[in-house]
Structure 1
Amino acid sequence: MFRFRTDATTIYAHYKVTKPLLGMPHMPATGVSGLDLYARDKDGKWRWVQVVRPGAQEMKLRLADGLDAGEREYAIYLPLYNGVEFLNVGVPEGKKFVGLKPRAKPVVFYGTSITHGACASRPGMVHTAILGRRFDVPVVNLGFSGNGRMDQAVGEFLTRIDAAAYVIDCLPNMNAAAVTEKCVPLVKQLRAARPDTPIILVEDRRNTDAWLKASLRKHHDDNHAALKAAYEQLVKEGVKGLSYVPGDHLYGDDSDGATDGSHASDLGFHRQADIFEPFLKAALGR
Structure 2
Amino acid sequence: MTETKTKLVNPATTDAISVYGLPFFSSEKKYYRFSEKDLETVAKVNPFLETLAKNPAGGLLAFYSDTTSLKLHAKLFGILHMAHMTHVGQAGFDLYVGTKRANLSFFSSTNYNINLSEYEITLFSHPVKRRRLFVINLPLYAGVNSVELEIDDEASVEPAKDLFPKGRIVVYGTSITQGGCATRPGMAYPAIIARELGYEFINYGFSGSGKGEKEITELVASTKEATMFILDYEGNADENSILENTLAPFVSTIREKYPSVPILIISKIRMAKEMHFMDKLNHALKLARFQAGFVKKQNENGDNNIYFLNGKNLLIPLQHEATVDGIHPTDLGFYFMAKRIIKKILSIIEN
Normalised by the length of structure 1, the TM-score is: 0.93
Q: Deviations over 1:78-114 (max 9, x none)?
A: 0110010100012011111224459673111100000
Cα distance change on mapping 1:235 and 1:20 into 2, 3 Å: closer
* Displacement after TM superposition at 1:20 (Å): 4.9
Q: Does 1:258 align with 2:323?
A: yes
**Match in the other structure for 1:170:** 233
Structure 1 stretch displaced more, 88-97 or 39-48:
39-48
How many Å separate the matches in 2 of 1:54 and 1:108?
Answer: 31
- What's the secondary structure of 1:225's corresponding residue? helix
**Match in the other structure for 1:134:** 196
**Match in the other structure for 2:130:** 70
Cα distance change on mapping 1:67 and 1:51 into 2, 3 Å: farther
Cα distance change on mapping 1:241 and 1:264 into 2, 3 Å: same
Q: Is the 8 A contact 2:79 2:141 kept in 1?
A: no
**Match in the other structure for 2:246:** 182
* Displacement after TM superposition at 1:147 (Å): 1.1
Q: Deviations over 1:239-286 (max 9, x none)?
A: 231111111121224301111001111111001001101221133449
Give, as a single letter, the amino acid of the residue that structure 2 aligns with 1:148.
G
Q: Is the 8 A contact 2:95 2:135 kept in 1?
A: yes
Cα distance change on mapping 1:42 and 1:119 into 2, 3 Å: closer
Selected match of 2:75 from 13, 16, 24: 16
Cα distance change on mapping 1:165 and 1:42 into 2, 3 Å: closer
Structure 1 stretch displaced more, 168-177 or 128-137:
168-177
Q: Is the 8 A contact 1:204 1:223 kept in 2?
A: no
* Displacement after TM superposition at 1:229 (Å): 2.1
Q: Does 1:268 align with 2:333?
A: yes
Q: Is the 8 A contact 1:208 1:257 kept in 2?
A: no
How many Å separate the matches in 1 of 2:184 and 2:164?
Answer: 23
- What's the secondary structure of 2:170's corresponding residue? strand
Q: Which runs of 5+ in 1 are unaligned?
A: none
**Match in the other structure for 2:93:** 35
- What's the secondary structure of 1:75's corresponding residue? strand
How many Å separate the matches in 1 of 2:122 and 2:84?
Answer: 27
The alignment covers a number of residue pairs equal to 285
Q: Which runs of 5+ in 2 are unaligned?
A: 1-59
Q: Is the 8 A contact 1:33 1:54 kept in 2?
A: no
Q: Is the 8 A contact 1:165 1:283 kept in 2?
A: no
* Displacement after TM superposition at 1:219 (Å): 2.2
How many Å separate the matches in 2 of 1:202 and 1:194?
Answer: 19
How many Å separate the matches in 2 of 1:71 and 1:46?
Answer: 13
* Displacement after TM superposition at 1:67 (Å): 5.6
Normalised by the length of structure 2, the TM-score is: 0.77
Considering only aligned residues, what root-mean-square deviation do their CA atoms show, in Å? 1.9
Q: Does 1:45 align with 2:110?
A: no
How many Å separate the matches in 1 of 2:324 and 2:102?
Answer: 32
Q: Does 1:6 align with 2:65?
A: yes
How many Å separate the matches in 1 of 2:227 and 2:216?
Answer: 18
Structure 1 stretch displaced more, 119-128 or 142-151:
142-151
